[in-house]
């Protein structure tokens, strides 16, 4: 790597710290010029849309950055970054690097991204971490020659484009799934295996209930009437003599919206009596007592993933009468608009959080079709989930490839070759 040179960020470009034009002057905020903030950075290389825009009049009081500036959050959410898709202003949380002509801006973007933990670690661990302009500019890196910078940037952007395409497909299929669930839980599936006609097309097929319009063949049953609902173990530091068995237990963090996250499962010491009472069995539906508004009541089905596992008191275990209600149907119903609406309206709410108790969960009304129709509905939602899961797995694989390739190329572990002709013509 003797052909490399070491530069600080202040040596490879101009550093611009943003500021916010007065919000009291409405004339500043009626234009079409992007006003970049960390909230606009969603992980994409380019920031193409901003929540707020400013007028040309505001430019007098701001610090304009050109297109292709590298924006790095240095106050608060240290390390969130993106490249400006258009010229614009940034808020004061952002330091922007405007590269000099003999440096490739995308290469610098990936160089910073590959070392982003160093930026985070340098920021003082205060209530609001801050990395000031001078500290930001002193970061030093070894740089490839310009033709290699361009080639590396092209390679890495190629994989980023594939990631963005995959993420767009995930978003598309999530919307398709949402529309599918709306149809399935309001129209259901008729004897012919197709969605029933809409209520406008065939009003005689529907009935009005306390939860809204549903097919006439369906019943509305409170969850507590067709299931056993139990809260889990309450954790405490004092152990009684009969508490001498260590078992895994599930927390709110383990019960996600429609799936289990078992990457970190903690253990607790309990008695044999507690195990007999609380041990999960395959087919139990797990539902959280509290959390974010959009996650409250989220449910998933336990399939015996861990032997002899119990649950914490903030996770309800719902054991349904399977002659009346299928576990997956309940989990999917809870994910639907019917479920979310009930939990939001019934919950005890505080700032950004909400919770439900066992009484409210027992009173949870479910639209219940026949077991055969429940199975048909489950099958279609599972097919949509399978497609999304496949895309998520592909996205995870691509991101892992990107991390490895970015490290190898930027550290010199893997070198790229650029011949003389390509050095003259390589594009971005």
Kindly report, residue by residue over 90-138, the tens digit of the pLDDT: 999 999 999 999 999 999 999 999 999 888 887 666 667 888 899 999 9
The DSSP bridge partners found for residue 28 are none
- Report the share of the chain in percent with pLDDT over 90: 73
- HSE at residue 269, side-chain half, CA atoms within 13 A, is 9
Does 327 have pLDDT greater than 60?
A: yes
Three-class SS state of 42: coil
pLDDT of residue 234: 86
DSSP 254: G
Mean pLDDT across the chain? 90
Task: Enumerate helices (H) and strands (E) in the chain, giving the number of each.
Answer: 11, 24
pLDDT of residue 77: 86
pLDDT of residue 118: 84
Bridge-based pairing state of the strands 365-368 and 219-222 = antiparallel
Give how far Cα 224 sits from Cα of 227, 244, 325, 416, Å.
5, 33, 12, 64
What average pLDDT score do residues 307-332 get?
Answer: 94
pLDDT of residue 314: 86
Of 340, 111, 143, 127, residue with least CA distance to 119? 111
Does 21 have pLDDT greater than 90?
A: yes
Alpha-carbon distance 329 to 372, whole Å? 11
> Containing H/E element for 39?
none
How many other CB atoms are found less than 10 A from the CB of residue 70? 25
Residue 370 pLDDT class (50, 70, 90 cuts): very high
Of 18, 47, 17, residue with least CA distance to 109? 47
pLDDT of residue 425: 40
Residue 100 tokens, joined:
């000099």
- Report the share of the chain in percent with pLDDT over 70: 93
pLDDT of residue 121: 80
How many other CB atoms are found less than 10 A from the CB of residue 315? 23
Alpha-carbon distance 346 to 338, whole Å? 12
- Of the listed ranges 95-104, 267-276, 314-323, the least confidently predicted one is 267-276
pTM of the entire structure? Answer: 0.83
Q: Which domains does the chain have, with CATH numbers?
A: 5-143 (3.90.220.20), 219-368 (3.90.220.20)
The DSSP bridge partners found for residue 248 are 267
Cβ(394)–Cβ(127) below 8 Å: no
Three-class SS state of 399: helix
pLDDT tens per residue, range 167-211: 999 999 999 999 999 999 999 999 999 999 999 999 999 999 999
What average pLDDT score do residues 416-421 get?
Answer: 66
Does 374 have pLDDT greater than 60?
A: yes
Does 423 have pLDDT greater than 60?
A: no
DSSP 310: E
Phi, psi of 102 (to 5 degrees): -90, 20
Sheet with 266-270, edge to edge strand ranges: 266-270, 245-250, 310-311
For the chain, what percentages of helix, strand and coil (3-state, to nearest 5) are there? 40, 25, 35
Alpha-carbon distance 207 to 226, whole Å? 22
Instruction: Kindly compute the dihedral angle of the four CA atoms of residues 32, 33, 35, 41, in this order, to the nearest 10 degrees.
Output: 90
pLDDT tens per residue, range 234-269: 887 677 787 889 999 998 888 887 788 999 999 999
**Angle, CA 131 vertex, CA 129 and CA 133 arms, to 5°:** 150
Alpha-carbon distance 2 to 145, whole Å? 11
Phi, psi of 141 (to 5 degrees): -140, 155
Alpha-carbon distance 9 to 138, whole Å? 6
């Amino acid at each position: 790597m003797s052909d490399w040179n070491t530069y600080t960020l202040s040596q490879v470009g101009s550093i611009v710290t943003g500021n916010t034009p007065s919000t009291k002057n409405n004339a500043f905020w009626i234009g079409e010029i992007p006003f970049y903030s960390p909230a606009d950075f969603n992980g994409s290389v380019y920031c193409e849309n901003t929540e707020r825009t400013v007028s040309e009049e505001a430019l007098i009081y701001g610090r304009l950055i050109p297109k292709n500036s590298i924006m790095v959050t240095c106050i608060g959410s240290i390390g969130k970054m993106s490249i400006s898709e258009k010229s614009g202003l940034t808020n004061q949380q952002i330091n922007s690097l405007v590269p000099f002509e003999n440096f490739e801006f995308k290469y610098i973007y990936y160089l910073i991204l590959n070392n982003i933990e160093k930026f985070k670690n340098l920021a003082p661990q205060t209530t609001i971490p801050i990395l000031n302009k001078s500290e930001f500019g002193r970061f030093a890196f070894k740089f490839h020659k310009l033709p290699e910078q361009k080639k590396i940037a092209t390679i890495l952007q190629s994989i980023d484009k594939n990631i963005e395409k995959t993420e767009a497909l995930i978003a598309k299929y999530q919307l398709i799934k949402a529309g599918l669930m709306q149809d399935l839980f309001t129209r259901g599936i008729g004897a012919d295996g197709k969605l029933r006609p809409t209520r406008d097309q065939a009003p005689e097929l529907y009935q009005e209930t306390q939860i809204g319009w549903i097919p006439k063949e369906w019943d509305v049953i409170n969850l507590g009437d067709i299931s056993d609902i139990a809260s889990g173990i309450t954790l405490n530091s004092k152990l009684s003599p009969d508490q001498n068995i260590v078992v895994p237990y599930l927390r709110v963090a383990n019960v996600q919206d429609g799936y289990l996250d078992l990457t970190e499962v903690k253990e607790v010491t309990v008695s044999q009596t507690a195990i007999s009472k609380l041990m999960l069995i395959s087919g139990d539906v797990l539902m959280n007592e509290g959390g974010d508004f959009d996650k409250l009541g989220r449910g998933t089905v336990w399939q015996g993933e861990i032997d002899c596992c119990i649950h914490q008191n903030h996770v309800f275990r719902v054991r349904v009468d399977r002659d009346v209600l299928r576990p997956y149907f309940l989990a999917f119903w809870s994910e639907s608009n019917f479920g979310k609406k009930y939990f939001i309206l019934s919950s005890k709410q505080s700032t950004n959080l909400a919770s439900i108790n066992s009484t409210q969960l027992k009173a949870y009304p479910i639209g219940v079709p026949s077991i055969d129709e429940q199975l048909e509905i489950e099958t279609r939602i599972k097919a949509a989930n399978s497609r999304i899961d496949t895309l998520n797995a592909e996205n995870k694989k691509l991101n892992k490839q990107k991390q490895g390739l970015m490290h190898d190329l930027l550290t010199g572990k893997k070198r790229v070759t650029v011949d003389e002709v390509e050095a003259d013509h390589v594009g971005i």
